[in-house]
Amino acid sequence: MDTPKDIIKNYHVKPRKKLGQSFLLDQNIIGKIVTAAHITPQDVVVEIGAGIGVLTEGLAQNARKLIAVELDKNLVAILQDKLAGRENVEIHSGDIMKFDFNSVSNTYNSKIKVFGNVPYNISSPVIFRLLSFRSVIDGFILMLQKEVVERLVAVPNNKSYGIPSVLLQMFASLEKILDVPATCFYPQPKVESAVIRGTFFEEPAMKLSGEAFFTSLVKAAFAQRRKMLNNNLKNSSLLSDIEEEKIKEALVSAGIDGRRRAETLSVAEFGNLSNLLQDLEKNK
Ligand code: SAH
């Protein structure tokens, strides 16, 4: 089998920085990611940014179906050439931010597993897009900037704990699988990378009256990280129709001291507070 270096050389690949192209060279890491994927013959897999296909072949080996999504037409041509013989692989030329996971799920009557060494400039939008399709996605294994992985898995009172941690952990269990040094890529990124596994829950970690409200509340609570919850909530446009006293009462009912900072609240405390405040909003 060709190594990633062979492919880059044979196809004269010139990495395009604008598309976040940074190819995995390290066969050992590639093997570890594929093994961690635990793909079974029932699995329908979508790979984000398949590039020159270094992960694609391994992922496709055991899968029922693998759909490799790639935006760069030059790389799409390489993928088609390399994977031509594989019946269970489909190359999708296009933008992952427009990719319709629902239709794939319908076609195969199955939930989807998502993989990818994702361009770092679009990692947040990609993650929130996966979250929005979670009814048809089982989970994901993604290579991301290490700092982003640390933010996603962070627990309260940790400096990395923030909006993405809370919003994702309400809907998924998350674990860091491994760190990947910059030297494993060509070209080498300026940042360190890590691989994260996320598994979406059937239901959110707690029952929410409204998911959009929950999202807005978490954002409002962290608006100014070093400020007390009291102040961030008082100043938020989300709650501008609710009297300050009522907000304080909701905090008391939730058992949360308003002098705390958002970064000290657990995901469940955010959920509870969101439900109480949304009730006030409805009944005012
Ligand atoms: N998986 C390969 C390539 C990773 S680099 C490897 O590990 O070696 C990221 C890849 O995502 C590049 O191939 C880039 O062209 C592709 N890409 C960038 N933006 C994209 C988008 N919006 N949708 C789909 N693919 C994209």
Q: What is the pLDDT of residue 284?
A: 65
Give 231's Cβ-side CA count (13 Å radius). Answer: 9
Q: Going by CA atoms, what residue is nearest to atom 20 of ligand 1? A: 71
Q: What is the pLDDT of residue 14?
A: 94
Token couple for 88 = 């269970």
Atom of ligand 1 nearest to the CA of 97: 22
Residue 96 C-alpha to ligand 1 middle, in angstroms? 9
Task: Kindly report, residue by residue over 101-138, the tens digit of the pLDDT.
Answer: 999 999 999 999 999 999 999 999 999 999 999 999 99
Average pLDDT over the chain reads: 95
Counted residue by residue, the chain has a size of: 284
Q: Going by CA atoms, what residue is nearest to atom 3 of ligand 1? A: 51
Q: What is the pLDDT of residue 232?
A: 96
Domain boundaries, the chain: 4-200, 211-283
Q: Where does 4-200 sit in CATH, by number?
A: 3.40.50.150
pLDDT above 80 (res 283): no
Q: What's the whole-number mean pLDDT along residues 75-102?
A: 96
Phi and psi based region of residue 137 (left: phi greater than 0; alpha: psi -120 to 50; beta: remaining): beta
Q: The pTM is what?
A: 0.95
Residue 163 C-alpha to ligand 1 middle, in angstroms? 26
Q: What is the pLDDT of residue 280?
A: 84
Nearest to 68 by CA among 178, 85, 76: 76
Which of 13, 23, 115 to mutate for ligand 1's pocket (most ligand atoms within 8 Å of CB)?
Answer: 23
Q: What is the pLDDT of residue 205?
A: 94
Q: Could you give the residue ranges of the DSSP H alpha helices within the chain?
A: 4-10, 27-36, 56-62, 73-83, 101-108, 123-132, 146-153, 163-169, 211-221, 229-234, 244-253, 267-283
Nearest to 141 by CA among 38, 3, 71: 38
Cα distances (Å, whole numbers) of residue 81 to 30, 84, 94, 107: 21, 5, 17, 25
Q: What is the pLDDT of residue 210?
A: 94
**Which overall architecture, per CATH, does domain 211-283 show?**
Orthogonal Bundle (1.10)
Q: What's the whole-number mean pLDDT along residues 172-179?
A: 97
Evaluate whether 4-200 and 211-283 have a shared fold: no
pLDDT above 70 (res 82): yes
Atom of ligand 1 nearest to the CA of 126: 22
Cα distances (Å, whole numbers) of residue 225 to 9, 230, 261, 270: 48, 12, 7, 15
Gyration radius from the chain CA atoms = 21
Q: What is the pLDDT of residue 141?
A: 97
Residue 35 C-alpha to ligand 1 middle, in angstroms? 21
Residue 149 C-alpha to ligand 1 middle, in angstroms? 18
| d(C-alpha 139, C-alpha 201), whole Å | 9
Token couple for 271 = 């959920």
Residue 21 C-alpha to ligand 1 middle, in angstroms? 6
Task: Kindly report, residue by residue over 176-226, the tens digit of the pLDDT.
Answer: 999 999 999 999 999 999 999 999 999 999 999 999 999 999 999 999 999
Residue type, 116: G
